[in-house]
């Protein structure tokens, strides 16, 4: 793992425009001409490498972006989609058919949870949700029809870290596919090196980083990606979550600065997490030695990109959390908004937003408390200044009391 660096892989990949442009040219077409009818037929059959047919299937710019992301994730290939959910649903529906079974971490993004919990059962695909570090329960839950273990490398919103090496060994033993959503830890964790079969991202977040579009990708073997694009039974080809070429062009350009941004997100998040914890707040951040998966994350990550830009703070109650978020927004410290990976800090109360699809009793069991604020820390130049202003807001809203501070 030491010799692999995802940022170098991306950097080594060069594309030029057709007139020598330093960026590749955007192909502004939904359909492509053929000089011979035979080649068109071969392309339909999937046998004409380098030929484009129809942009729902593939397009030059989508292939460029897919290739760059495959390099980043150290997989044979990849396929970009119109959203992260477009990638997740295509992968799951490609692998699982009626009668199949999935084992999933119970702490995952609310939309994925809702898809597994509500959308798939009427199609006769059931999911068992488990604590992803309870390996005994995971092995016990495996049935002859189990096809997948699904998890997030760093989970949304609780920032639990999955032991990908261990999960991969369970998958290999039982011939299951390990599918990992790596949205929270691009560059820092490379799931394929730890045994994941398919790696998914919501490009909407850190990878694009400018909160101007949704997008997704799944990275895996050429065979799997070809299957998803098969004109007769490919989930992605037939469900049609296709990214537009203009969007893939802009995401590819933003990908070029991901390594710089991730370092700054991580640096700022670490700074705030340490200070907030010192102030007596209930903080969760994988970079803190107090985080239950701190050592595990250290053993899986590429250190230079840090522990990521996400942290949570428990404000006690929803009311206090809301008051604090509104005040921080008023003070221009960030935006009360869902999503993550933006230059500006974003905060939201997970229980009433991105995890609201999860029923209240289950949220409680998982540890998503009512006052839990998820922060996606921005690229602030002077994080000490930000910290001081945030602390002021915390005092004013009563989230922090003067007597809770034991170190200044
Ligand atoms: N995976 C994770 C971890 C997410 O946080 C999200 C969205 O918040 C998604 C997947 C879904 O991505 P998208 O909104 O791009 O469909």
Give tens-digit pLDDT for 213-255: 999 999 999 999 999 999 999 999 999 999 999 999 999 999 9
The residue-averaged pLDDT of 248-269 equals 98
Which residue ranges make up each domain of the chain?
6-255, 258-404
Which of 145, 140, 146, 197 lies closest to 169, judged by CA?
Answer: 197
DSSP letters for 279-295: TT-EEE-TTSTTSTTHH
Burial 40-59 (b: 16+ CB within 10 A, else e): beebeebebeeebbbbbbbb
pLDDT band at 43 (very low <50, low <70, confident <90, very high): confident
Tokens 């640096």 found at: 267
Q: What percent of the chain has pLDDT over 90?
A: 88
Class of the 6-255 domain? alpha beta
DSSP letters for 226-281: HHHT-TTT-HHHHH--PPPHHHHHHHHHHHTTHHHHHHHHHHHHHHHHHHHHHTT-
pTM for the model: 0.96
CB atoms near residue 62 (< 10 Å): 27
Atom of ligand 1 nearest to the CA of 155: 3
DSSP letters for 344-379: S-EEEEGGGTTTTTS-HHHHHHHT--TTEEEEE---
Q: What Å distances lie between residue 196 and 84, 156, 182, 223, 281, CA to CA?
A: 18, 19, 10, 16, 35
pLDDT band at 408 (very low <50, low <70, confident <90, very high): very low
- 224-233, 306-315, 359-368: which has the minimum mean pLDDT? 359-368
What digits encode the pLDDT tens for the residues 333-353? 999 999 999 999 999 998 777
- Output the CA 40–ligand 1 centroid distance in Å: 36
- Residue from 87, 88, 90, 111 whose mutation best tests the ligand 1 pocket (most atoms within 8 A of CB): 111
The residue-averaged pLDDT of 49-56 equals 89
Q: What Å distances lie between residue 364 and 29, 99, 358, CA to CA?
A: 49, 30, 10
- Output the CA 183–ligand 1 centroid distance in Å: 7
Q: What is the mean pLDDT of the chain?
A: 95
pLDDT band at 357 (very low <50, low <70, confident <90, very high): confident
Decide which of 3.30.70.1890, 3.30.420.10, 1.10.10.10, 3.90.1150.10 is the CATH code for 258-404: 3.90.1150.10
Burial 132-154 (b: 16+ CB within 10 A, else e): bbeeeebeeebeeebbbbbbbbb
Decide whether any atom of ligand 1 lies within 6 Å of the 109 Cβ: yes
Q: Which residue has the higher pLDDT, 10 or 51?
A: 10
User: What is the rounded end-to-end Cα distance, in angstroms, of the chain?
Assistant: 40
Whether the predicted pLDDT of 404 surpasses 70: no
Decide whether any atom of ligand 1 lies within 6 Å of the 208 Cβ: no
Which of 72, 57, 71 lies closest to 27, judged by CA?
Answer: 57
- 1-5, 23-27, 126-130, 255-259: which has the minimum mean pLDDT? 1-5
Q: Which token pair is 300?
A: 């899986």
Decide whether any atom of ligand 1 lies within 6 Å of the 181 Cβ: yes
Whether the predicted pLDDT of 1 surpasses 80: no
Whether the predicted pLDDT of 403 surpasses 70: no
pLDDT band at 380 (very low <50, low <70, confident <90, very high): very high
């Amino acid at each position: 793992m030491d010799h692999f660096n995802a940022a170098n892989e991306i950097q080594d990949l060069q594309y030029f425009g057709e007139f020598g442009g330093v960026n590749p040219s955007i192909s502004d077409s939904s359909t492509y001409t053929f000089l011979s009818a035979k080649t068109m037929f071969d392309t339909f059959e999937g046998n004409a490498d380098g030929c484009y047919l129809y942009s729902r299937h593939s397009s030059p710019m989508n292939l460029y972006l897919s290739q760059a992301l495959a390099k980043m994730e150290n997989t044979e290939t990849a396929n970009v989609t119109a959203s992260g959910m477009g990638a997740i649903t295509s992968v799951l529906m490609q692998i699982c058919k009626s009668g199949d079974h999935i084992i999933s971490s119970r702490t995952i993004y609310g939309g994925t949870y809702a898809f597994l919990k509500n959308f798939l059962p009427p199609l006769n695909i059931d999911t068992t949700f488990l604590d992803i570090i309870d390996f005994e329960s995971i092995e016990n839950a495996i049935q002859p029809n189990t096809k997948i273990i699904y998890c997030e490398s760093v989970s949304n919103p609780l920032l639990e870290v999955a032991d990908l090496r261990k999960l991969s060994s369970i998958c290999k033993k039982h011939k299951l596919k390990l599918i990992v959503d790596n949205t929270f830890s691009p560059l820092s964790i490379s799931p394929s090196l730890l045994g994941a079969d398919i790696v998914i991202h919501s490009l909407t977040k850190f990878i694009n980083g400018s909160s101007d579009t949704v997008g997704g990708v799944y990275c895996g073997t050429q065979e799997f990606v070809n299957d998803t694009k098969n004109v007769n039974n490919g989930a992605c080809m037939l469900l049609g979550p296709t990214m537009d070429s203009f969007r893939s062009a802009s995401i590819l350009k933003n990908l070029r600065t991901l390594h710089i941004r991730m370092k700054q997100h991580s640096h700022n998040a670490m700074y705030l997490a340490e200070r907030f914890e010192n102030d007596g707040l209930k903080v969760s951040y994988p970079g803190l030695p107090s985080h239950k998966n701190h050592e595990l994350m250290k053993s899986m990550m590429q250190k230079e990109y840090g522990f990521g830009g996400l942290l949570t703070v428990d404000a006690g109650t929803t009311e206090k959390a809301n008051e604090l978020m509104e005040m921080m927004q008023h003070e221009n410290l960030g935006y009360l908004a869902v999503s993550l990976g933006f230059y500006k800090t974003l905060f939201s109360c997970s229980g009433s937003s991105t995890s609201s699809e999860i029923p209240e009793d289950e949220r409680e069991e998982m540890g998503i408390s009512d006052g839990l604020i998820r922060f996606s820390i921005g690229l602030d130049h002077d994080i000490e200044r930000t910290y001081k202003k945030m602390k002021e807001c915390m005092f004013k809203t009563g989230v922090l009391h003067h007597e809770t501070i034991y170190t200044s």
